[in-house]
Structure 1
Amino acid sequence: MMPLQDALYNWLTIKVVTDARSDDRAALETEEMFFSILNDDHGISNIQYEKNDGMYNVQYLHENERKQTRFPIELIEIMLTQIQAEPEKYVNYPENE
């Protein structure tokens, strides 16, 4: 099983991408996969996050207890930054191709 901290990091990293690129099917499917890991393997629900003071603050429910963790913005946005720097490498293709 993937450690909780790793699953939260992976989910948030791709969630930031899907928020910026809502038409990116691959990113959406990846975000759903990591959310399933959080929910099914770790019992995490009601995930919320906000960005402030150079950090992403993530809050979630685990066994009916509110918990939180933090990640540096530059660590979470690395994938989005890479996609924006080289968009030709991250083309969205229509489903019917």
Structure 2
Amino acid sequence: MKSLQDALYNWLTIKVVVDARPDDLAAKETLDFFDGMLSTEHEVSNIDIITDDVMYYLSYQQGEETKKARYPRELIEIMLDQINKEPEKYEDYPIEN
């Protein structure tokens, strides 16, 4: 994924799902994939998330610089909203210990 903005968007979208469904193995594996992409392809680390009623605000390190991004909640939470509306279509694949 060439665009940092797209990678951050996808990472945050699946992070919201993982936070809501911590035992979902597929979601966790997808988050790990985007973590790796952000780290290796974009040199991103130390992502902090702050939310309000309207937006998600990210602060992160890219190399030596601290940068920021923001995304509307309705766009980030769309996947989780879809899962919650039709849970029968999104089976929770738990992490096996």
What's 2:21 paired with?
21
| Paired amino acid for 2:52 | N
Sequence identity (%): 56
- Structure 2, gaps ≥5 residues long: none
- What value does the CA root-mean-square deviation take over the aligned residues? 1.4
Displacement after TM superposition at 1:95 (Å): 6.3
**SS state at 2:40 partner:** helix
CA distance in 2, matches of 1:94, 1:11: 20
CA distance in 1, matches of 2:95, 2:61: 35
Q: Which moved more, 1:49-58 or 1:13-22?
A: 49-58
The within-5 A match list for 1:1-97 is 1-93=1-93
Displacement after TM superposition at 1:94 (Å): 5.1
- Structure 1, gaps ≥5 residues long: none
Number of aligned residue pairs: give it.
96
**SS state at 1:22 partner:** coil
**SS state at 1:48 partner:** strand
TM-score where L is the length of structure 2: 0.93
Higher RCO, Cα 8 Å, sep 6+: 2
CA distance in 2, matches of 1:93, 1:67: 34
CA distance in 1, matches of 2:52, 2:32: 25
